[in-house]
Structure 1
Amino acid sequence: MELVAIGCSTGGLRALQVLLRALAPCPRTAFVVVIHTASADADSLCQLLARDTPMPVQEAQERAPVLPGVLHVAPPGYHLLIGRDQYFYLNVDPKVCFVRPSIDVLFESAAEAYRHRMAGVILTGANDDGARGLRCVRQRAGIALVQDPEEAEASSMPEAALSLAGADHCLALADIASELNRMCLS
């Protein structure tokens, strides 16, 4: 697995912290996170997430390469895309599902760039952002993992993903981490 793209919203920070604590080091896999947050300070979010993982955590920058072994965080106020050249691109196109950055935008571009070499992960959230993107991941032979809505702090996002895209795995957070460890280390 070369890329794991993760999207979350309401309750997402806690879910990410649980997930990151359980992930084994994956030096060949890049991780990219879109989290809907009201904060305009990506540095604080990166510092907070860095407490829960040995991976370097950094804000994704325009025209910077997607680096394996790094957790890249989408900057607030911009849609984050990954080009076929596996570099990041930012834009301020209209909001998708009332948010920017949008999980759909990231997942759709990542699916084009990585196809079967990626996994898309939808965690807790209170809207349907990520469902269309996850469908795109699956259509391009990527792996789709969705947090069990029964466990999610806000079930709308995982439910929407399951309804529109389905999932290869619908799991509790701890089991998502175990599955990602298996995929990244095999």
Structure 2
Amino acid sequence: MTMFDAARIGAVVIGASAGGVEALNLLLPVLPKAFAAPVLVVVHVRQGQPSLLPGLFAARCALAIEEPFDKDEIAPGTVYFAPPGYHMLVEAEGGAAPSIALSIDPPVRFSRPSVDVLFESAAHAYGERLLSIVLSGANDDGARGARTIREAGGACWAQDPATATAPAMPLAAIAADAANEVLTLEQMAMRLTQYVDHSK
């Protein structure tokens, strides 16, 4: 899937770190209420204190914003932010509807939540129906997971490093040959708004 194919997208997964909140603020608020896929987001946040992200984006977005609990069923048209201190995974076993799994396994790439952990589990659950987005960040978390998604038939968009506050994360995805396309945030936003459920 080299181009965004709205009819095939079952979920969107997003990874971000330094500069990522600003990038998300250009993407998530433009998504219409009829957006037809769940969006799962990992942002590297400080552990040991509640995340402010759900409240911040709930006030700005048409979509429902959740900080999920373990075993929550994944609903379309909902944005899920990984809770601080937990890996957020997608589970889809035995034909059951995909659900959230939260884990306190050791940090990956020095991070918990880890972008790689979310991306790799989502690739297993959604395969070619998965779109991943790698945004601004100061390390290489997400590159390995994005490569797994691409190998499973899904797609990856990397933020244009020239537009990223911290370009290391998208650069790592590009270097790993994980990115189908390198896009500005404005290009991503325009593409994403095309994927709506017209029955709503």
1:139 alignment partner in structure 2: 151
Q: Which runs of 5+ in 1 are unaligned?
A: none
Q: State the TM-score, normalizing by the size of structure 2.
A: 0.88
- The structure-2 alpha-carbon separation of the partners of 1:27 and 1:166, relative to structure 1 and needing over 3 Å to count, comes to closer
Match of 1:148 among 152, 160, 166: 160
Q: For 1:22-45, what per-residue CA distance to the aligned partner results, in whole angstroms no more than 9, with x for missing partners?
A: 323344200010000115213x21
Residues matched between the structures, number:
185
Question: Is 1:93 the counterpart of 2:105 in the alignment?
Answer: yes
Cα distance in structure 2, aligned partners of 1:18 and 1:69 = 17
Match of 1:32 among 40, 44, 49: 40
Question: Is 1:66 the counterpart of 2:78 in the alignment?
Answer: no
Q: Name segments (4+ residues, structure 1) moved above 4 Å.
A: 183-186
Are 1:22 and 1:174, in contact at CA under 8 Å, matched by a contact in 2? no
Q: For 1:156-179, what per-residue CA distance to the aligned partner results, in whole angstroms no more than 9, with x for missing partners?
A: 000001101331221000111112
Q: Which runs of 5+ in 2 are unaligned?
A: 1-8
1:167 alignment partner in structure 2: 179
- The structure-2 alpha-carbon separation of the partners of 1:171 and 1:8, relative to structure 1 and needing over 3 Å to count, comes to same
Cα distance in structure 2, aligned partners of 1:83 and 1:65 = 9
Output the aligned Cα RMSD: 1.5
1:7 alignment partner in structure 2: 15
Larger radius of gyration: 2
1:18 alignment partner in structure 2: 26
Of 20-29 and 68-77, the range deviating more from structure 2: 20-29
**Residue type of the partner of 2:128?**
H
Secondary structure at the residue paired with 1:162?
helix
Cα distance in structure 1, aligned partners of 2:34 and 2:127 = 19
1:110 alignment partner in structure 2: 122
Secondary structure at the residue paired with 2:14?
strand
Match of 1:75 among 72, 76, 83: 83
Q: State the TM-score, normalizing by the size of structure 1.
A: 0.94
Are 2:29 and 2:57, in contact at CA under 8 Å, matched by a contact in 1? no
1:41 alignment partner in structure 2: 50
**Aligned positions of 1:115-126 closer than 5 A:** 115-126=127-138
Cα distance in structure 1, aligned partners of 2:168 and 2:141 = 9
Q: Alignment identity in percent?
A: 39
